[in-house]
A = this chain, B = another copy of it.
Amino acid sequence: MTAHTPYEDLARELGSVGTVRRELARNLPHDCPPAPAVVLTLLGRHGEMRMTRLADLMAIDMSVTSRHVAYAVERGWVDRRPDPLDGRVRLLRLTGSGQEMLAEMHRRTSETLAHLLGDWPQEDVARLTELLAGLRASFGDCGCGCRTAPRGARPLPPDRAAAAQD
């Protein structure tokens, strides 16, 4: 009952990551769903940015990004103001309250993973993280229009390729 290709096996394990993500989500603060949590994480990592860039980093449509950001703004975690240089652009930044929420999130997430992966060698944790980052890069860098190109299937907007390396 075991004759699978390596890719089929990988696909199966990737699917099972959902369990882990749900568990991590369960331990988040009550009023902070996973997606807004990602917004805070990325703003904390990369600093001030516009909607377009955040949507790109989250690898989801900007319409969805907009809703998650609105949620965070309503709760005072994110400051959203127009770019003085271009009235169309909105600049996003963590507030003090947002930084506190982010710290609490990180604390809980690390606690959960430490609890569950306590017996893992540090090098395995690091290796898994590394390989997953590589996976993300392979998808972002593809440039074949798999994910991005709305219609044109343009080759490779260079800024996006750079963003995928973060």
Q: Report which A residues bind B (CB closer than 8 A).
A: 1-2, 4-21, 23-24, 27, 34, 38, 41, 45-47, 59, 106, 109-110, 113-120, 122, 124-129, 131-136, 138-140, 142, 144, 146-147, 155-156, 161, 165
Contact = CB atoms under 8 A, between A and B. Distances in A.
Given A15-B21, A156-B115, A161-B115, A8 B128 contact: no
Contacts of A11: 24, 109-110, 113
B8 A109 contact: yes
A interface SS class? helix
Given A19-B136, A117-B138, A10 B125 contact: yes
Contacts of A115: 142, 144, 146, 156, 161
A147 B23 contact: yes
The 9 A-B residue pairs whose C-beta atoms are closest, nearest first, are: A13-B132, A7-B113, A7-B110, A19-B59, A128-B131, A16-B136, A11-B109, A10-B129, A17-B17
Given A5-B110, A7-B113, A118-B165, A20 B24 contact: no
Contacts of A116: 138-139, 142, 146
19 contacts: A5-B110, A6-B122, A7-B109, A8-B109, A9-B129, A10-B125, A10-B129, A12-B41, A13-B132, A14-B20, A14-B132, A17-B17, A19-B59, A19-B140, A19-B147, A115-B146, A119-B138, A127-B131, A128-B128
